[in-house]
Structure 1
Amino acid sequence: MKKLHIMLICFFVAYQVQAQKITVKGTVVSAEDNETLMAAAITVFNAKTDAFIHYAYADEAGNYELRIEKTAFYIKADLLGYKTYISKPINPTTSVIEHAIRMQEDRTELEEVVILQKQRTLKMSGDKMTINIERAGLGIGNDGLQTLTKLPGIRLDKDENIVFRGNSNLQILIDGKPSLFSGGDLKLFLKTLSGDNIKSVELIANPSAKYSAAGSGGILNIKLKKGVNTGLTGNIRSSVGYAEFIKNSNGLNLYHNSEKWNLNLGLNSNYNESTNHRKVVQTINEPGKTTVLEQFNDWYPKSNSYTGTFGVSYALTKNSQLGSSFNYNSYLSDAITEGKTNEIENDQFLRYTLLETSEYQKNKRLTGNLYYSFVSDSLDTKLDAQINLANYNKQGNRITSNQYYLANSNNQYQPASVIRNSNPTQVQIVNTTVDLEKKINPNFNLETGLKYSYVHNDYDLRLEDKNNAGIFVPNTNRSNHLIYKESIFAGYGIANLSRNNWNFQLGLRAEHMAYDAFSKTANTTNKDSYTSWFPSFSINRNADDNQYKFSYSKRIERPRYLNLNPFFEYIDTYNVQVGNPNLQPAFTDAFELTWVRKYKTALSVFANLTQGEMYQIVSYDEATKITTLYVDNIGKSKSIGLSFNTSFSPTDWWELQVNTEVSYAQATSTIPGYAFNESGANFYGNLSQSFRFKNDLSFTWTSFYSKNGNYGNSEFLPAYDMSFGMRKEFLNKQLILNITAQDVLKENQWRQITTQNNVSTNWTNQWETRKFTLALTYNFGAGKKKKIKSANLANEQNRL
């Protein structure tokens, strides 16, 4: 009986002790823009004695949770780059206390030194990799496209399309909002963006249902530099670079902020003169005859880009904001291509063709938006509504002349051909989005949203032949005027459940698309409508210094507007490109398992399985010796890989970042006459080193090696190179000098061999390398700047 009494007493005491425990949890965000902050140190103290009670760290979603004795307490939060947060005393009345922490940026001189020394170039957070472009100096002297090529796993293919993990179907965001265009127009857009104005880039390999389902290759989110002060502040910068030709970039950014109003003004200009050396060797094996076509082309583009941005926002209340922003860009370019094609049969040099192309382009783009955002005091309710507009106008023409000569006599064996291409294009885009996030209780929250977008694309492709009288005559068989209209209505819902150190997210997105493509030239219509469902889920486990995450999402790659146009584009005598109005979207199931150790080492296993793979077909006609390029749905593909990223510091002044990736890719084609089933292994490695010394002097050294194996009917040869940079700060860190030398080995090039049936094509694209840049930036003013949201138009414009 005595033992029973003792057991009951012990149980009662244990119960009372347990009953006195409470849970303290919440989210840590930036007070400036409500973005979640990870890795903040949360410490709880006794409100009466200031005695330490317990501590925790915010996870990658900014959430923290800890268990303490039931007593009056206060919370302290610390994070590099932010002022220390201390709450008022809290007297718990329930077993669960939820407390939101808003941290303010700290830009004092002392803190700035600490941040410069300890802020990492690369940061892993779940399935998101963030690269600090400003810290690494990757944007200096580069445009936006060149800057992206410096990121881990990012390359350009032979046509300058961005490739990540072997996939060129990427969604590009600017400050979390979809940007403009893809294909050729995306390249132009990124070239108008100055790399000096990019703060960081996020690589999101497996997005949730909140993001548009477009982009089977993931998302690149480009974050631009923002102001940090009140009053009138800003910066002015200028850079000059030289490789084979000169380049220059200049920019001015002004910020004027007050308690209620925030104004941003930016003016940027870029001049770029560059070159691309292309060599294409095509070998055709026929019974009793082997034909070799050797093409050597040198492309010399000159471009001027001018960009103006303006943004204004007004704080309606402490919780709500109304704002608008506008961006105007003008891009002018002139390009000359000089080429020679040798025609060899059975090792005998028979004929050659001289190519000369002159091209002029003038592009104008105006985007604007109006937005409203609301965040409650407790952070349990967030509302964001936005309407976006864009107008895009493209003018230009290209004149291509070919002259045909016999190799033995250098006499012309047929009259020269001169063809003029022009494609005036006008695009209007409007979309509206509404996103709502509601925390039901401390462990459960819901997200939902709607989006409607409309695109009107007027694409007029005109091809003219020069007759014997020297007059350009329209070629009606190869011209096409297409009016393309498209509307997409989308909605999504996401449920998040947190339990102890676990987080579960389940999402579903639905998109209904309808399009109408009317050819005014042929008087034909191609239209369709369909609804697609895109599920996603993730499981996240946080255990002290270790994070584990498994995620899945379904993605879609829609055909670009141009590829749906039954156009005919003359490249040269031996190459043409045509459209395919029957092209269908491709769907991808994407999986990823990630482990992150102490926020600096990450190991990921990923897999992408695609049905209806869109692939560029290279079709050769033996009779005419013409190669026709077009895009078609070949069948299916898969990619399975492993990536490893880490950083470490051998000394206080030396830091290394290592990024590697190994993958296996396979593509299968079921197209009659173009069938294949090929696979191969790929490897990418990147080593970045930074050296920090006294007197605000630092150096960087980056190098990479890339080797892709077979994919489909193509093999990719290795590429490698290294770059160096120096940074020196003057005048109390207001004046910054950067000197860089990029791709000094001149081995950063694209080399691809495509083999189909009896035709082998060997491509080599060598862009301008070994570039040296000198850049100066002067920061003026002091206080606090705020950012204003940009137009959200990415998905529609990505397919122009």
Structure 2
Amino acid sequence: MNQHPYHLKHAMKKFLLICVGLLSVQLASAQFPISTAPQRKAIPGTADDNTPKGNSKITGFVVDSAMTKAVEFASVALVSKTTNKPVDGAVADDKGKFTLNKVLAGDYKLLFTFIGYENKTVDGIKVEKGKDIDLGVVKLSSKAKTLEEVTVTGQKDLIEEKVDRLVYNAEKDITAKGGDASDVLRKVPMLSVDLQGNVSLRGSSNIRVLINNKPSTIVAGSVADALKQIPADMIKSVEVITSPSAKYDAEGSGGIINIITKKNTLQGLSLNVDAGVGNRGSNLSLNGSYRKGKMGFSLGGFGRANYNLKVDVFNDQTNFGPNGNTSRTIQNGTGKNSGQFGNYNLGFDYDMAKNQSLTAGVRYGVRNMLNTQDYDIQSFVNGNKTGTLFRDIDTKNLSGTVDVNVDYLHTYKKPQQEWSISTMYSRNDLTNNYDANDKSAVDAILNRQKNINHSNNQEATLQTDYQTPIRKNQLIEFGAKGIMRKVSSNYDYLYANAGDPLTQDPKQPSGALDYDQNVVGGYTSYTYTTKSRYTLKAGARYEHTSISASTREGGEIHIPNYGNLVPSVNLSKSIKGTMLKLGYNRRIQRPGIQQLNPNINAANPQNISIGNPLLRPELTDNIELGASRTIKKFFLNATFFGRKTDNMITQVVQSSDTLAGGLITTYQNIGSEHALGSNIFGNLAVSSKINIGIFSNFLYSQLKGKAPIGGGISQDVSNSGLNVSGGFFTQFTFKNGWGAQGFAFLQGSQVQLQGRRGGFGFYSAGVKKDFKNKKGSIGLAGENFLTKNFHMHTQNSSPQFTQVSDIYIFMRGVRLTFTYKIGKMTMDAPRKKGKSVNNDDVKTGGDGMNQQQGGGTPSTGTARPR
């Protein structure tokens, strides 16, 4: 029986190995067409009882000779020098490693092949009985004609389709140089990123964002803020997991986004410098690494400053009172935003033994966001003007985040068998304050108001996972996880008339929220691959959540414990070059601190926001059917999906009972959603130098719920409509290290329970020149450079109010980027890293639009329990 071990991160890798293994044997047969006698070809990952068995092994790593990175899924054919026939075959895994097991003694040669690379033959391999051979690193050369040219090897280098996810490889993005993660995510199929950086997947903002397969407290409060702290230059790929397996936490009803950063597997000392300067922002990044033998260290820092960001806001809202009176408020405002972001990390890894590794890391993130807004607010009652209020608002959103992890991995002789223990401690401390001054028409201060909101989110996680193959085509995984979280928020309100010191506001009492949450879960998952190229991955996860919560002013909040069984099934099949996928999963969405925090944000007195500590989780059932195919130079991927959400956490707006013309925004478990949609993505590799892609997203959603209308009364509300978005990108590579790239995206208006949120557009273009020594580059990129501003029009309404908001965002920008690599490195065989904690179980805040409508960043804190 002929067996070829291989490593497998995800079940789809096994399916790919079978398909590519067939190709490797066919290529090898074509390379050595000597004998015409019929032979049975051995397929990697399957049995062939007619193949003679030996007791020797050949291993090694396949890497790109120019870019010093692994060549994933490279084909390896073992050819007998006696018959000049391929007698065995294997496929490299995602780390470039290949293994040939049970090789008979004899003289051989190895043929290495992969699309976009020159074939390579390693001759003179003499296998002795019972002795293993380690070839070390085998380098494949690109088919590029000169070192100055860059070869675009096809769509599969840009998009990878797997049984439960889509992988977007972002390493060649020119326009993102000097940008942040939101610039990269805008170009990922199925994702939509608005102009504030809020991310949605298939029309749902209930998603989890991971960094290198694990959560970070920089994401815990606001995804939009967290993306600004991640430099685009450090992103290797983005995984969009639309149908998560049972191995993932049950949170994230819309799916999971996993951002993979670049890692170094080289020996020696290196330092990378990335810098950029522009009219809207500047950045500087220094990343160093050192590796000697079994031990490696990395130290890096990234800093980014945003400035000259301007927003104009117009807001017109009318309240219809029960006594027939009509109160109207018209607001005009101008805002300026600035921010400084930092992300610093120290990493360590150590190969304790051949089959044991230890990794550890410390990461510190800092955010300093400042927002100033000047408003004039005109009030009317029954059409008669009653006054004008001028208000200046200064908002500070500061945070410091610490993540510490220690992970251990133990592998076994049996391929794919491994056991891991992962631990993590995180803490996020936030300060979210605002100062407001009410002024007269002659700019004299009438009174002052201050809201102070300090919050923190800390969590400790312990997790263990085990997986082992069953026979040759089956894999079973199971594990357990415990998360202990403690979230707190303290808020105070101060007030003073002109000339008086600030004191406690009698109309707004201070308060505090303490929210402890413990989640204990376990899962099992089973993967089965048939000889007819079906891959089935099915599993179930159970999570039990216990909550203890209280407020200073109201005492204990009675929130019952709950348990959830979350099944998942993913099936894929390759038919004549077309991959078909069918998946079902159930997800839960727990509320975050932005939804729970009872702090009242009254920076804009006519648009008040407040959280709801009584929120319960929502449940979503998802089903999807996808197909992808490569037709010559054209790659096409189409996915159709449906979802049903109950107990939906919905942002609702209602008229204020005490403030004429005022609106209050809060959250309720009052909604349900039925949605149908599709994602279509196509890419054409016109030539090795020109690549063009186009994508579109269609979503029809139907929302139902009960919206409060004041006085403790609610009424049935429903809304439905089509949401459309799409865009295109193009990439060019030229001689002498020159390259260019363009991108455009258009998002239509979005259906909400009480109206529609405005759409927006975004585009960018860039050019880059690599230095001759390939150690650096210089580039120029522009964003929205032909457009003065973007206009977003949003409408909300009910029988009690109407609200119209127009936001004008000034984002015209240009930046110059520079990168350089210092130090000399040598290739080291990639090592399998320890697994890490992956907490993907919390709902983010609102869509961010109310911040602009409401005249300031909500002072609700941004840490979230999960």
Provide TM-score, normalisation by structure 1.
0.86
The aligned residue for residue 334 of structure 2 is 298
Give the distance between the partners of 2:99 and 2:722, measured in 1 at CA: 43
Q: What's the secondary structure of 1:731's corresponding residue?
A: coil
2:690 alignment partner in structure 1: 654
Out of 664, 670, 677, the position equivalent to 1:641 is 677
Cα offset, 1:133, TM superposition? 2.6
Deviations 1:432-485 (A, max 9, x none): 111111112111110111111111122111122225662222247542212211
Equivalent position amino acid for 1:664 in 2: Y
- The one-letter code matched in structure 1 to 2:243 is N
Counterpart in 1 of 2:9? none
Determine the structure 2 residue equivalent to 1:338: 374
1:520 matched to 2:552? The reply is yes
Written as runs of structure 1 = structure 2, the 5 A alignment for 1:642-721 is 642-671=678-707, 673-708=714-749, 710-721=751-762
- With over 3 angstroms needed to count, the CA separation of the structure-2 counterparts of 1:751 and 1:148, relative to structure 1, is farther
What's the CA shift for 1:639?
A: 1.6
For the residues of structure 2 that align with 1:575 and 1:249, how far apart are their CA atoms?
35
Contact 1:133 1:201 in 2 (8 A): yes
The answer to whether residue 820 in structure 2 is matched with residue 755 in structure 1 is no
Correspondence for 2:483 among 441, 444, 453: 453
CA change 1:371–1:652 in 2 (3 A) is closer
Q: Which residue of 1 aligns with 2:398?
A: 362
Distance 2:202 2:81 in 1: 52
Structure 1 residue 200 corresponds to structure 2 residue 243: no
Residue 424 (structure 1) aligns with: 454
Q: 1:603 Cα shift?
A: 1.1
Cα 1:60–1:710 change in 2 (3 A) is farther
> In the alignment, what sits opposite 2:514?
483
Deviations 1:691-735 (A, max 9, x none): 111111111111122224534222244423321110110132111
Partners of 2:195 and 2:800 lie apart in 1 by 22
Note the alpha carbon deviations across 1:17-36, whole angstroms, 9 max, x for none.
9997755427999889xx99
1:268 partner amino acid? F
- Over residues 730-766 of structure 1, what are the superposed CA-to-partner deviations in whole Å (9 max), with x where a residue is unaligned? 1321111121111233565543212222422223334
Structure 2: how far apart are the matches of 1:325 and 1:104? 31
- Distance (whole Å) between structure 1 residues aligned to residue 706 and residue 461 of structure 2: 37
Bigger Cα displacement from structure 2, 74-83 vs 595-604: 74-83
Match of 2:825 in 1: 782
Secondary structure of the structure 1 residue equivalent to 2:558: strand
Give the 3-state SS of the residue equivalent to 2:178 in structure 1: coil
Unaligned runs of 5+ in 1: 1-16, 94-98
Letter in 2 for 1:725: G
* Letter matched to residue 480 of structure 1: G
**Residue 723 (structure 1) aligned with residue 764 (structure 2):** yes
1-structure distance, mates of 2:273, 2:647: 48
Question: Which residue of 1 is the match for residue 529 of structure 2?
Answer: 498
In structure 2, the CA distance between the partners of 1:576 and 1:299, relative to structure 1 (3 Å rule), is same
One-letter code aligned to 1:465: Y
The match for 2:637 is: 602
SS at match of 1:660: strand
Percent identical pairs in the alignment equals 20
Contact kept? 1:436, 1:449, Cα under 8 Å: yes
Residues 379-418 of structure 1: pairs in structure 2 closer than 5 A: 379-395=415-431, 397-403=433-439, 416-418=446-448
Deviations 1:515-535 (A, max 9, x none): 111223433333431111100
The one-letter amino acid paired with 1:374 is H
Query: For residue 449 of structure 1, what is the amino acid of its counterpart?
Result: G
Structure 1, 786-795 or 328-337: larger mean CA deviation = 786-795
C-alpha separation between the residues in 1 aligned to 2:128 and 2:795? 70
Does 2:496 match 1:471? no
Match of 2:593 in 1: 561
Post-superposition CA distance 1:560-588 (Å, at most 9, x none): 13422333222312121122122110011
Counterpart pick for 2:348 among 305, 312, 328: 312
Q: Secondary structure at the match of 2:171?
A: helix
1:673–1:92 CA distance, 2 compared to 1 (3 A):
farther
Q: How many matched pairs? A: 766
1:316 match: secondary structure? strand
* Structure 1 CA distance for aligned equivalents of residues 560 and 120 of structure 2: 56
Report the CA distance shift for 1:358/1:782 in structure 2 as closer, same or farther (over 3 A). Answer: same
Superposed displacement of residue 65, structure 1: 14
Structure 1 letter corresponding to 2:571: I
Root-mean-square deviation (Å): 3.9
Partner Cα distance (2:705, 2:645) in 1: 12
Matches of residues 12-411 of structure 1 in structure 2 within 5 Å? 23-25=43-45, 40-41=74-75, 43=77, 45-46=79-80, 48-52=82-86, 76-79=111-114, 116-118=151-153, 120=155, 122-126=158-162, 127-156=164-193, 160-182=197-219, 184-242=221-279, 246-273=280-307, 274-284=309-319, 291-344=327-380, 349-395=385-431, 397-403=433-439
Q: For residue 769 of structure 1, what is the amino acid of its counterpart?
A: M
Conservation of the 8 A alpha-carbon contact between 1:123 and 1:600: no
Residue of structure 2 equivalent to 1:580? 612
Secondary structure of the 2:233 match is: helix
Deviation at 1:182, TM superposition (A): 4.7
Task: Measure the CA separation in 2 of the matches of 1:209 and 1:42.
Answer: 33
SS of equivalent residue, structure 1 residue 497: strand
Q: CA 1:665–1:485 in 2, change beyond 3 Å: closer, same or farther?
A: same
Contact 1:313 1:322 in 2 (8 A): yes
- Superposition deviation, residue 86 in structure 1: 7.1
Q: Tell me what 1:4 maps to.
A: none
Question: Do the aligned residues in 1 keep the contact of 2:42 with 2:87 (CA within 8 Å)?
Answer: no
Counterpart for residue 840 of structure 2: 795
Shift of 1:115: 6.3
The one-letter amino acid paired with 2:427 is N
**1:362/1:747 CA distance change after superposition, 3 Å:** closer
Deviation, 1:351, is 2.7
Counterpart among 753, 756, 770 of residue 812 in structure 2:
770
Q: Which has the higher contact order (CA 8 A, sep 6+)?
A: 2
Q: Give me the whole-angstrom Cα distance separating, in 1, the residues matched to 2:526 and 2:517.
A: 30
Secondary structure in 2 aligned to 1:294? strand
C-alpha distance in structure 2 between counterparts of 1:682 and 1:364, whole Å? 37
What CA distance in whole angstroms lies between the structure 2 residues aligned with 1:37 and 1:464? 61
Q: In the alignment, does 2:466 pair up with 1:442?
A: no
Partner of 1:591: 623
Query: Counterpart of 1:782 in structure 2: which amino acid?
Result: M
**Alpha-carbon spacing, 1:252–1:60, altered in 2? closer, same or farther (3 Å):** closer
Instruction: Kindly indicate whether residue 761 of structure 2 is the aligned counterpart of residue 742 of structure 1.
Output: no
Worse-matched range after superposition: 774-783 or 275-284: 275-284
| C-alpha distance in structure 1 between counterparts of 2:700 and 2:687, whole Å | 36
Given that 1:368 and 1:790 are in contact with CA atoms closer than 8 Å, whether structure 2 keeps it comes out as no
Are the aligned partners of 1:132 and 1:199 in contact in 2 as well (CA < 8 Å)? yes
1:479 partner amino acid: S
2:277 and 2:96 mapped to 1: Cα distance? 40
**CA-to-aligned-CA distance 1:391-412 (integer Å, 9 cap, x gap):** 222235311123466xxxx899
Greater shift in the superposed pair: 452-461 or 704-713: 704-713
- Residues 690 and 699 of structure 1 are in contact (CA less than 8 Å); yes or no, is this contact kept in structure 2? yes
- Worse-superposed segment, 349-358 or 39-48: 39-48
Task: For 1:217, give the aligned amino acid.
Answer: G
| Distance in 2 of aligned mates of 1:535 and 1:411 | 61
Which deviates more, 583-592 or 57-66? 57-66
Name the CA distance, whole Å, in 1 between partners of 2:238 and 2:735: 28
2:7 alignment counterpart: none
Change (3 A) 1:522 1:621: closer
Scaled by the length of structure 2, the TM-score of the pair is: 0.80
